[in-house]
Structure 1
């Protein structure tokens, strides 16, 4: 099929494009290559995909550019859209909230409008486990209430789910939202904990663990995310007859719309996570314990049984194995300073202030 992947130079996007090309799909990518983090990493991801599976058309377009997105749809006529582009990061949403409105709300609206003008078989879009917010009960179920987000980023992802539902209801667009749980792996984002923590440990800098390291996260290896997407592409949701859906819940609807959790289902405490990083790096961490940060969710754990029922697949790669693969890539990629300049880091005397 003709598949459009937005955020094609991003972490999950590049892995997704590679898998789709290997599966024989015709892929068109979209990315704006912004400088939220070093754009060189994005270019290197694209080069990696080219080396592994050949070149693919990649349009440099910002999600806020509605005419350009419309022209892209008109030219390529995608049958499936996998929308992974967004302004990411919980912490950054406290510093630059308008970026989330422009990209995650306005940009998603442009994607929905183009899917309406040029009808698609299936729109798959990235949501986030952060939508569960203040929900204290785990494992998180798609049927749980998600009305109490703890950050603007989380609120924007909840808004995406509602926007998709309205377009699914009004225009019959089959929409599937995927709530990703702490995705990690090779080619990951440098603002996320695996690279942040690995850099701090290898450089001997202080590693700050917020909430005194008591967080638990449901880590999900990127290959499990991509396998889930690949299995869902040709499984668009169907409209549910009214008599079979008299009382739709948070993840069910009469419209062709649905939500899935994609998570490893085995939450790991932050301190245990650091121990595994130390093991694979062969170095000890210098740790500073700090209080909980604003916007942080305490613990996450996915109930992915809905995904299993729909696709016959559940995430299966254990954290120890996945971190081993990630660290092998990390050491190889960042050991080439001429080709890949070090990312901007805080001064050595400053603690590394990132959490999961």
Structure 2
């Protein structure tokens, strides 16, 4: 079987880094499209091709991207961090960039796997798992821009006959998350036996372990290659857990005193939703994917890696 050429955007992020590592382990030829300021893992040196890009317009991308690719994994996004609220940048990266990449895929005869997010869904009125047909967000910048980008990319792919999969990822967790996120913040504070200031933790979310997410992406690529067409799938477990429950499981995995969890010490973010849980039924039936790592197992695995990293510092 010939070596497959893949292009990955967002490789410097949490999910992107795990994806690139898995692709390399499977012998893929990986090219990363990243900002010139992006920090990539040193262990990738001489193992990947890097295209530095600070102009994500169609003209800028056409100037830099020449070699054809079999698959484009598009993970880059803007607005994940609470302080990233530049509307023009959000439109450029979340709406215009995926549309451009799909058009390039058409010319290359490549397929595209795009990472969406549970933030694309509007807050549900009932506690029924969200399906791929649930109403989309219209009032929040990040969720609305991601929803618009996914819809546009999907529509262009359908119009052009380009094979395309949109994966709406729910609450992905694991080692390698940015320091400001819940899991690494908990581990950092609890390791020092410090009180960790967090929200009341009443938000109910669908936590998906990173390895299961990467497996879903690779299976989606294989399905896209074999079946063609377009599809949108939730990558979720269908299981509801509160942020408080998650934090308590982290403390238990570390053998830390749960009284160090400062629930209610900080306010909820304005874009926090009370209940967002996804239905994995469509992905299970069409792709044969289902989460293989339970929450306790995933938390223990992630905590072990994070604690080792802290000990090495």
| 1:185-214 CA distance string (max 9 Å, x none) | 12122232111222233345543443x321
SS in structure 2 opposite 1:102? helix
Question: CA, structure 1 residues 169+86, in 2 after alignment: closer, same or farther (shift >3 Å)?
Answer: same
Question: CA–CA distance in 2 between the matches of 1:327 and 1:131?
Answer: 29
What is the aligned counterpart of 2:249 among 276, 279, 283?
276
SS in structure 2 opposite 1:261? strand
Alignment of 1:17-56 (within 5 A): 17-32=20-35, 34=37, 42-43=39-40, 46-49=41-44, 55-56=47-48
| 1:103-152 CA distance string (max 9 Å, x none) | 212322332332233331x1110110111122233211112121x34521
What is the aligned counterpart of 2:298 among 304, 318, 322?
322
Question: CA–CA distance in 2 between the matches of 1:315 and 1:49?
Answer: 28
Question: CA–CA distance in 1 between the matches of 2:240 and 2:44?
Answer: 31
CA contact (8 A) 1:182 1:219 kept: yes
1:231 aligns with 2:206: no
| 1:78-107 CA distance string (max 9 Å, x none) | 0111101111416234x4333322321232
TM-score (ref. length: structure 2): 0.88
Question: CA–CA distance in 1 between the matches of 2:273 and 2:138?
Answer: 9
Aligned to 2:61: 69
Question: CA–CA distance in 1 between the matches of 2:148 and 2:212?
Answer: 25
1:59 aligns with 2:62: no
Question: CA–CA distance in 2 between the matches of 1:286 and 1:276?
Answer: 11
1:81 aligns with 2:54: no
Question: CA–CA distance in 1 between the matches of 2:147 and 2:156?
Answer: 15
Question: CA, structure 1 residues 73+310, in 2 after alignment: closer, same or farther (shift >3 Å)?
Answer: farther
What is the aligned counterpart of 2:240 among 251, 267, 270?
267
1:136 aligns with 2:125: yes
TM-score (ref. length: structure 1): 0.78
Q: RMSD in angstroms over aligned alpha carbons?
A: 2.3
Question: CA–CA distance in 1 between the matches of 2:88 and 2:119?
Answer: 19
Question: CA–CA distance in 1 between the matches of 2:192 and 2:86?
Answer: 29
Question: CA–CA distance in 2 between the matches of 1:271 and 1:103?
Answer: 33
Aligned to 1:167: 156
SS in structure 2 opposite 1:294? coil
Gaps of 5+ in 1: 240-255, 338-356
Question: CA, structure 1 residues 97+198, in 2 after alignment: closer, same or farther (shift >3 Å)?
Answer: farther
Question: CA–CA distance in 2 between the matches of 1:172 and 1:304?
Answer: 26
Deviation at 1:288, TM superposition (A): 3.7
Question: CA–CA distance in 2 between the matches of 1:15 and 1:288?
Answer: 30
Gaps of 5+ in 2: none
CA contact (8 A) 2:189 2:196 kept: yes
Alignment of 1:87-166 (within 5 A): 87-89=78-80, 91-93=82-84, 95-120=85-110, 122-137=111-126, 138-146=128-136, 148-166=137-155
Question: CA, structure 1 residues 191+85, in 2 after alignment: closer, same or farther (shift >3 Å)?
Answer: same
Question: CA, structure 1 residues 149+22, in 2 after alignment: closer, same or farther (shift >3 Å)?
Answer: same
Which stretch has the larger CA shift, 292-301 or 281-290? 281-290
Which stretch has the larger CA shift, 95-104 or 271-280? 95-104
What is the aligned counterpart of 1:5 among 3, 8, 13?
8
SS in structure 2 opposite 1:330? helix
Which stretch has the larger CA shift, 213-222 or 161-170? 161-170
Question: CA–CA distance in 2 between the matches of 1:63 and 1:193?
Answer: 32
1:220 aligns with 2:208: yes
Deviation at 1:55, TM superposition (A): 0.9
Aligned to 2:176: 187
